[in-house]
Amino acid sequence: MTETTSAPNFIRNQIQEELEAGRHDRIVTRFPPHPNGFLHIGHAKSICLNFGLAEQFGGDCHLRFDDTNPDKEEQAYIDAIKADVNWLGFEWAGEVRYASDYFDQLYAWARHLINEGKAYVDDLSPDEIREYRGTLTEAGTPSPYRDRGVEENLDLLERMRVGEFAEGEKVLRARIDMASPNINLRDPILYRIRHASHHQAGDKWKIYPSYDFAHGQSDAIEGVTHSLCSLEFEDHRPLYDWFLAQLPVPSQPRQIEFARLNLNYTLTSKRKLKLLVDQGYVDGWDDPRMPTISGMRRRGYTPASVRKFCEMIGVTRADGGLVDIAMLYHAIRSDLEDNAPRAMCVLKPLKVVLTNVPEDHEEVYDVAGHPARDDMPVRRVPFTREIYIDRDDFMEDPPKKFFRLAPGKEVRLRNSYVIRCDEVIKDDAGEVVELRCSVDFDTLGRNPEDRKVKGVLHWVSAAHGLPVEVRLYDNLFQVEQPDKDRDADFLEHLNPESLVTVQGFAEPSLAGAPPESRYQFERVGYFCADRYASRADKLVFNRTVGLKDTWAKIRKKG
């Protein structure tokens, strides 16, 4: 069982009250994704809420795919969604469920509505249906086909089902109230014609139910007690309840809405995410820059950090606010700070020759895998005459408070000696290509007695360093709300520096780092061995997050 939060929220409080009042013996929730894309961070919030509540109250949570649109659904999406839920640490009750499992029952209920005079087959075109529906301030106009007889409607529906009519030629609509102030009740569509093969049902059906018609009845069939959804479905709740009231369903679920997650510098529109994938702006749905669960996994996020983030943002009905992405970074950074082993990796190598160290000299330091964890293996770090430091840790003409390496200045090598820069070697273009330094051999494990050395640098032995490819990922977008302006192209806000790839060297303890293993590269940030590209003969690391935690500082000031 996954560790879940018991922090209060209004849905948890309502369920607690209902159980105490005896309205339910046990609760049943469900997570009902559309298999038309990969899950994103907003879905993670819903997953943690639905599965977390079921776990806390000893109930069940179903995984049910809302597979009512075969044109956009793929088995690959189904497989990815199941993997994401499992990766987050949750298990669904029973077998995976599909709305298509209930197509026969839904069709029977559609016939029931026709027999009750509450549904009819309409010949209006999609444009005409929109025109007849009216506006927020004007009532709709009844379709001229609204008063067809029961037998004619049943006959037409069956002919729709077997594929006699073209797509868009006819639809089945509920007969409710064309003057309702809630547009969702103005004779909504129940079935559309789709001449498409279904990934579960094959070619049996030529008509497919709408989400509104399938969703509540599927909940009722499964005995769901609490149907939790985002606030955009609040205006659909009267329709949800109308169907349940008109049909002989076996149970009466309750729909409760909560605010969806809006994260700055991020898009969660599946349509726009799919465009990024299809047009090659990213390397697939699991590109580490994507806000998908699989993308976050590949970037190095942990299940615990995603669940922690979902706990931090809470569950409310207040909609419209932006959550600072720094909170997400804080959640993963806090987890990795405690659990990621340490290593040294130089991303922009600059060669350093230690002139007073013999050419064949080699000593090996035993270094803690984690400064606060005795259970992590000790690293063996070799020290030799030639090493690499990061190019950013050297300046020829440094400012006053530059506590790194400069001509005539000293620094300490992490876990090793103090060195002094004595000579700078440049190429014909004037670029620094090598530093000549000397070692103070009296400073291993202790500070010099006659002077202060403030800077500490990470480094790697040139003879033992492992070549690594490091992918430095950043926010995919440069602005907080990339799709705020509906008249502008959100692609204009893509961050050209969202991926920078460098070739560096890592200490030999990283040899054989398994895919998805995570490390803190000392003084640099947290990194993850790429789950696909990293292998024994080629190490590839993705930057998960840097070391600086701006959100934690803001929270302390607040």
Separation CA 464–CA 548 (nearest Å): 29
The DSSP string of 398-429 is --TT--SB-TT-EEEETTS-EEEEEEEEE-TT
The DSSP string of 257-275 is EEPPP-BTT----HHHHHH
pLDDT at residue 554 above 90?
no
pLDDT of residue 5: 45
- Cβ proximity of 385 and 545 under 8 Å: no
For residue range 65-89, list pLDDT tens digits in order: 999 999 999 999 999 999 999 999 9
pLDDT of residue 557: 60
- Cβ proximity of 308 and 331 under 8 Å: yes
pLDDT at residue 3 above 80?
no
The DSSP string of 174-189 is E-S-TT-SSGGGSS-E
pLDDT of residue 7: 54
Separation CA 247–CA 216 (nearest Å): 11
pLDDT of residue 320: 64
* Sequence-distant (≥ 6) Cβ neighbours of residue 125 within 8 angstroms: 168
Per the rule left: phi > 0, alpha: psi between -120 and 50, beta: everything else, 483 is: alpha
Separation CA 222–CA 16 (nearest Å): 21
Out of 2-11, 37-46, 336-345, 472-481, which region has the weakest mean confidence (pLDDT)? 2-11
Establish whether domains 103-212 and 342-557 are of one fold.
no
Separation CA 398–CA 239 (nearest Å): 69
Query: How far is residue 473 from each of residues 332, 448, 455, 503, 543, measured CA to CA in Å?
Result: 15, 39, 27, 14, 6
Which regions of 211-315 does DSSP assign to beta strands (E)? 226-230, 254-258
pLDDT of residue 2: 46
- Both tokens assigned to 453: 């050395």
pLDDT at residue 163 above 70?
yes
* pLDDT tier at 534, thresholds 50, 70, 90: confident
Q: Which listed CATH number (3.90.800.10, 3.30.530.20, 3.40.50.2300, 1.20.1250.40) goes with 103-212? A: 3.90.800.10
For residue range 24-43, list pLDDT tens digits in order: 999 999 999 999 999 999 99
Q: What residues form DSSP beta bridges with 31?
A: 63
For residue range 488-513, list pLDDT tens digits in order: 899 999 999 999 999 999 999 999 99
How confident is the prediction for the chain on average, in pLDDT? 95
Separation CA 379–CA 360 (nearest Å): 22
pLDDT of residue 552: 64
Fold adopted by 342-557:
Ribosomal Protein L25; Chain P (2.40.240)
- Both tokens assigned to 234: 């609040």
To which residue do tokens 């996020």 refer? 301
pLDDT of residue 485: 86
Separation CA 102–CA 276 (nearest Å): 34
Task: Please state the domain extents for the chain.
Answer: 103-212, 342-557
- Cβ proximity of 491 and 477 under 8 Å: no
Separation CA 78–CA 67 (nearest Å): 10
Mean pLDDT of 356-371: 97
pLDDT of residue 289: 98
Out of 2-6, 91-95, 161-165, 347-351, which region has the weakest mean confidence (pLDDT)? 2-6
Helices 325-339 & 303-313 angle (0-180, nearest 10) = 140
- Both tokens assigned to 207: 């008509």
Q: Which has the closest alpha carbon to 306: 319, 297, 315, 318? A: 297
Mean pLDDT of 422-447: 97
Separation CA 536–CA 405 (nearest Å): 34
pLDDT of residue 127: 97
Instruction: Determine how many CB atoms are found less than 10 A away from the CB of residue 6.
Output: 8
% of the chain surpassing 70 pLDDT: 97
* pLDDT tier at 122, thresholds 50, 70, 90: very high
pLDDT of residue 1: 41
pLDDT of residue 369: 97
Query: How far is residue 453 from each of residues 160, 346, 409, measured CA to CA in Å?
Result: 83, 21, 9
* pLDDT tier at 257, thresholds 50, 70, 90: very high
For residue range 266-318, list pLDDT tens digits in order: 999 999 999 999 999 999 999 999 999 999 999 999 999 999 999 999 999 98
- Cβ proximity of 101 and 68 under 8 Å: no
Out of 4-8, 141-145, 466-470, which region has the weakest mean confidence (pLDDT)? 4-8
pLDDT of residue 319: 76
Give the sign of the dihedral formed by CA 484, CA 486, CA 487, CA 491: positive
